[in-house]
Structure 1
Amino acid sequence: MTIDRNCELCQLAAPAAYANDKFAVIVVDDPNYPGFCRVIWRDHVREMSDLSRDDRLLLNEAVYQLEQAVRETMAPHKINVASLGNVVPHLHWHVIPRYTDDAHFPAPVWAAAVREPDAAALTARRALLPQLAQAIARRFNQD
């Protein structure tokens, strides 16, 4: 496995909701986006095209399973799935639950905010995070 000692995703400081030897799933600690998750490829590669066909299929399935866990638990209006890596050039996918009342909707979460998020709605969504962790474990620990 290739590791870059200067790469924050290779060092993976956040606890994983699920991990194996190929990838890790983390729930991002973002106060404005409860349920924001990432699938992080463990080997330090930049692009999907750096992976073998089998690894690409495995990673796509992981993103799909994570999206399903987020949808079933967080009940968002929409899910955003993105692989950018412009700031951290290490292959990872963002899975972000979106709501019509979130701070950026309908723009991407990285755009300028267009409203203050509703504190009660955020509190209710944060309360779902233990259920999300269980849904992730259930989906990824199936054999």
Structure 2
Amino acid sequence: MSQAAAPLQQANCPLCQSLGGDLVYRNSRFRVIDALDADYPGFLRLVWNDHVREFSQLQRDDRLLCMDAVAHLEQFVLNTFKADKANLATLGNVVPHLHWHVIPRFVDDKHFPAPVWAAAKPGVGLVPKQQAILDTRSTWLPALRADLVRAFGT
């Protein structure tokens, strides 16, 4: 697909029909959204613009671009939020449109060390590190946007 072509879309796909969250960055190949997860501030998603179900369906250059962007987001989460761990996942079981979850994790968060989709530990809410991320959202979102433009263009 050329840079100017419209993304391939599927009518019944929620990620083809909507952004999927608060748009942080978009170029012709992918977009980055803030998942707006109250329990996990800083939970980002990289959504491929074309409707493809599997990572392996991308051409080699697109796979490399996609993984470079995911690694870039992982470093942002680790460096900016001082996360203890970054979780990366591409599931697509519920929404079969290629997207990557990039989730800052903290040893004292309500699910650690289990995945964020597991049952929460009883009595654990938003931890101070997560609240700090939420409190500085107006600062880190523009910084991430500018960082992605520098790294991947517009």
**Shorter-chain TM-score above 0.5:** yes
Contact kept in structure 2, 1:74 and 1:132, CA below 8 Å? no
Supply the AA of the counterpart residue of 2:8: T
Inter-partner Cα distance in structure 2 for 1:7 and 1:118: 31
Contact kept in structure 2, 1:16 and 1:26, CA below 8 Å? yes
Structural RMSD (CA): 1.5
Contact kept in structure 1, 2:22 and 2:36, CA below 8 Å? no
Inter-partner Cα distance in structure 1 for 2:128 and 2:45: 25
* Farther-moved stretch of structure 1 (24-33 vs 130-139): 130-139
- Greater relative contact order (CA < 8 Å, ≥ 6 in sequence): 1
User: Structure 1: which 5+ runs fail to align?
Assistant: none
User: Structure 2: which 5+ runs fail to align?
Assistant: 1-6
Q: 2:98 aligns with which of 72, 75, 91?
A: 91
1:2 is the counterpart of 2:8: yes
Q: Normalization by structure 1: what TM-score?
A: 0.92
1:20 is the counterpart of 2:39: no
- Mapping for residues 91-110 of structure 1, pairs under 5 Å: 91-110=98-117
In structure 2, what is the equivalent of residue 132 of structure 1?
A: 140
Q: Write out the 4+ residue segments of structure 1 that deviate beyond 6 Å after TM superposition.
A: none
Q: Normalization by structure 2: what TM-score?
A: 0.86
